Amino acid sequence: YLGKTGQCVVDETERGWYISLVERDVTKLARQELLQHRAKAEQREEGRLVKRLEAQRRHEASKPSGSTKTAEPTNLDRTALPLTVPLSLPTLDSTKPKSDKKSILPIKSV
């Protein structure tokens, strides 16, 4: 019965019967399926990456070699730039809050 239902693996040999329990832990099976799914997804992504790289190589190889543009140096025109930069910093007195009330701290005697 256990062999037919898949709960055990039953082997009959000349020395006797051998019974092995088949562990079917639901969480363990779900984890194995998840790991297999991740491995397949990684393989698919790696295949896509390889295809993209090959397509880029073919595209670069198909371009004529004379079509590359090189950057040429130009002269910098400094006459259009302002010569002075206005800068204003707040003074220390302006950052303090102004209050008419005097703050008095209590003095504790020991």
* Average pLDDT of span 76-103: 68
In a domain, 33, yes or no: yes
The Cα–Cα gap between 21 and 9 comes to 6
Q: Which domain holds residue 44?
A: 25-64
In a domain, 94, yes or no: no
The Cα–Cα gap between 87 and 29 comes to 69
The Cα–Cα gap between 33 and 26 comes to 11
Domain count, the chain: 1
- CA–CA–CA angle 43, 45, 46 (5° rounding): 65
In a domain, 13, yes or no: no
In a domain, 45, yes or no: yes
In a domain, 39, yes or no: yes
pLDDT per residue as tens digits for the range 33-70: 999 999 999 999 999 999 999 999 998 888 776 656 77
pTM of the model: 0.39
